[in-house]
């Protein structure tokens, strides 16, 4: 029997997916049985053993690759915790404006002729130095090479995250109507000084916010990269906070996070955040993204369901990026509760992961007051 892709994507519960498609994949059963970070994941997580690795690693990836988080954390961990000085100083990182492979155009954006590189030649040069002892100048170069989107140029750095980074907050503001890009949400360098009205939206798992671009890979229905966000930002279940037009370029390079003060009337839900570059013509392109399953607000090891109506502080990891927001552009943050099918829908019921087929419509509230200042943290570099 032919099974349509849409039927598979929308199927619930997730733990019966194999019966639907007629396949038996043990790894899928294992993943479904271990939704929390436990010994199953620890034994296959390289981050647990950096201190035991005595040889350097060559790390090559893309800002929009599905593996970008592992790429960045892998290099950062090895350069700080590797067993030997050779492992720490010899490891390198090259990351460009790509999905799962080098290209000049990723998503809807052309990053210029310098964006693509010959990954085989780059890797061969690295192995020639370390395995054959060929003195090709590799040891004279900084270990980190990052592509900065916007200015479309490569940066050479001595470390990642970059030591001179100024982590700087931009705060959410509105009069309680930040829903969609037509709303009144703003983003400024100034912390709220009064009790601004909260923003509210409804998340219906039967009508989730669709995935448009982002970090993905390889033959999926949601191709990777920066994509024009009009479809997403026209929805009322997406909060949109936008800065004024930029007078001088703002360059960021490194980890990005959104600190969200929010509540839900559900015992579990998701919060999604995107960092967006808004061009002078109004077109907006996603630059970084992250998602938080609310039950993991304390830790990935010990989930804890929410108390409905209680305000929580959520830290949403947007992984990392390098962008120079150009003069005349604007910086934007989106907040929603779905990014489907890139991520599975949270049914909002609090049931064990992947076991239920019931859904609850959740009412979400985002706060931006002096005491609860929702914001994005940008890694600004000069």
Tell me the CATH number at 343. Answer: 2.60.120.260
- In this structure, the answer to whether residues 26 and 106 fall within a common structural domain is no
- Between CA 372 and CA 226 the distance in angstroms is 31
CB atoms within 10 A of CB 93: 24
- In this structure, the answer to whether residues 121 and 14 fall within a common structural domain is no
**Overall number of domains in the chain:** 3
- Between CA 150 and CA 251 the distance in angstroms is 9
Of 128, 157, 186, the last residue of a domain is: 157
Asked if residues 238 and 200 have their Cβ atoms less than 8 Å apart, the reply is: no
The residue behind tokens 């943050």 is 333
At residue 90, what are phi and psi to the nearest 5 degrees? -85, -20
**Per-residue model confidence (pLDDT) at position 221:** 78
Within 8 A by CB and 6+ apart from 290, the residues are 256, 257, 258, 272, 273, 316, 317, 318, 319
Give the domain extent around 153. Answer: 42-157
- In this structure, the answer to whether residues 14 and 47 fall within a common structural domain is no
Asked if residues 147 and 133 have their Cβ atoms less than 8 Å apart, the reply is: no
- In this structure, the answer to whether residues 347 and 216 fall within a common structural domain is yes
**Per-residue model confidence (pLDDT) at position 24:** 85
**Per-residue model confidence (pLDDT) at position 81:** 98
Residue 119 token pair: 């990954």
- Tell me whether residue 83 is exposed, middle or buried, using C-beta atoms within 10 angstroms of its C-beta: 0 to 12, 13 to 18, 19 or more: middle
- In this structure, the answer to whether residues 20 and 126 fall within a common structural domain is no
Maximum CA extent, the chain:
64
- Between CA 228 and CA 276 the distance in angstroms is 10
- In this structure, the answer to whether residues 144 and 226 fall within a common structural domain is no
In three-state secondary structure terms, 19 is: helix
- In this structure, the answer to whether residues 121 and 13 fall within a common structural domain is no
Asked if residues 80 and 45 have their Cβ atoms less than 8 Å apart, the reply is: no
- In this structure, the answer to whether residues 267 and 124 fall within a common structural domain is no
**Per-residue model confidence (pLDDT) at position 1:** 60
- pLDDT per residue, tens digit, the chain (382 aa), is 677 888 889 999 999 988 888 888 899 999 999 999 999 999 999 999 999 999 999 999 999 999 999 999 999 999 999 999 999 999 999 999 999 999 999 999 999 999 999 999 999 999 999 999 999 999 999 999 999 999 999 999 999 999 999 999 999 999 999 999 999 999 999 999 988 999 999 999 999 999 999 999 887 778 899 999 999 999 999 999 999 999 999 999 999 999 999 999 999 999 999 999 999 999 999 999 999 999 999 999 999 999 999 999 999 999 999 999 999 999 999 999 999 999 999 999 999 999 999 999 999 999 999 999 999 999 999 8
- Between CA 345 and CA 204 the distance in angstroms is 9
- In this structure, the answer to whether residues 69 and 146 fall within a common structural domain is yes
| Angle formed at CA 274 by CA 69 and CA 270, multiple of 5 degrees | 85
In three-state secondary structure terms, 240 is: strand
Following CA atoms 139, 140, 142, 145 in sequence, which dihedral angle do they give, to the nearest 10 degrees? Answer: -80
H or E segment and range at residue 157: strand 153-157
Asked if residues 61 and 67 have their Cβ atoms less than 8 Å apart, the reply is: yes
Residues in the chain: 382
Predicted TM-score (pTM) of the model is 0.96
The residue behind tokens 């404006």 is 97
Of 106, 136, 157, the last residue of a domain is: 157
Residue 376 token pair: 């994005």
Asked if residues 237 and 202 have their Cβ atoms less than 8 Å apart, the reply is: yes
User: Helix count (H) and strand count (E) of the chain?
Assistant: 8, 19
- In this structure, the answer to whether residues 67 and 103 fall within a common structural domain is yes
In three-state secondary structure terms, 290 is: strand
CB atoms within 10 A of CB 265: 16
b/e 68-82 (16+ beta carbons within 10 angstroms → b): bbbbbbbbbbbbeeb
- Looking from the CA of 58 toward its CB, the CA atoms found within 13 Å total 14
The residue behind tokens 């004279």 is 140
């Amino acid at each position: 029997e032919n099974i349509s892709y849409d039927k598979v994507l929308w199927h619930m519960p997730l733990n019966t997916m194999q019966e639907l498609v007629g396949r038996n994949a043990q790894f899928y059963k294992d993943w479904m049985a271990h939704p929390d970070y436990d010994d199953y994941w620890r034994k296959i997580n390289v981050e647990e053993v950096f201190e035991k690795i005595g040889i350097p690693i060559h790390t090559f990836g893309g800002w929009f690759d599905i593996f970008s988080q592992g790429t960045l954390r892998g290099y950062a961990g090895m350069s700080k915790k590797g067993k030997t000085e050779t492992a720490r100083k010899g490891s390198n990182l090259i990351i460009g404006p790509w999905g799962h492979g080098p290209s000049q155009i990723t998503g809807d954006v052309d990053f210029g002729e310098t964006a693509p590189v010959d990954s085989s030649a780059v890797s061969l040069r690295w192995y020639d130095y370390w395995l054959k002892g060929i003195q090709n100048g590799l040891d004279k170069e900084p270990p980190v090479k990052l592509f900065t989107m916007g200015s479309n140029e490569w940066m050479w750095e001595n470390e990642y995250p970059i030591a001179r980074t100024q982590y700087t907050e931009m705060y959410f503001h509105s009069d309680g109507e930040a829903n969609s890009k037509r709303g009144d949400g703003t983003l400024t360098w100034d912390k709220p000084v009064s009790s601004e009205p909260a923003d509210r939206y409804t998340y219906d798992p039967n009508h989730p916010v669709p995935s448009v671009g982002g970090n993905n890979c390889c033959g999926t229905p949601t191709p990777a990269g920066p994509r024009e966000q009009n479809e997403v930002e026209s929805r009322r279940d997406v909060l949109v906070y936008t800065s004024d037009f930029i007078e001088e370029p703002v360059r960021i390079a490194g980890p990005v996070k959104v600190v969200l003060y929010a509540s839900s009337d559900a015992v579990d839900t998701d919060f999604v955040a995107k960092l967006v570059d808004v061009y002078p013509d109004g077109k907006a392109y996603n630059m970084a993204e992250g998602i938080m399953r609310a039950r993991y607000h304390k830790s990935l090891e010990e989930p804890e369901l929410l108390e409905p109506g209680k305000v929580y502080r959520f830290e949403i990891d947007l992984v990392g990026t390098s962008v120079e927001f150009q003069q005349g552009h604007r910086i934007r943050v989106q907040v929603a509760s779905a990014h489907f099918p890139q991520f599975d829908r949270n049914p909002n019921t609090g049931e064990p992961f992947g076991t239920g087929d019931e859904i609850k419509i959740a009412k979400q509230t985002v706060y931006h007051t002096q005491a609860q200042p929702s914001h994005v943290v940008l890694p600004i570099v000069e």
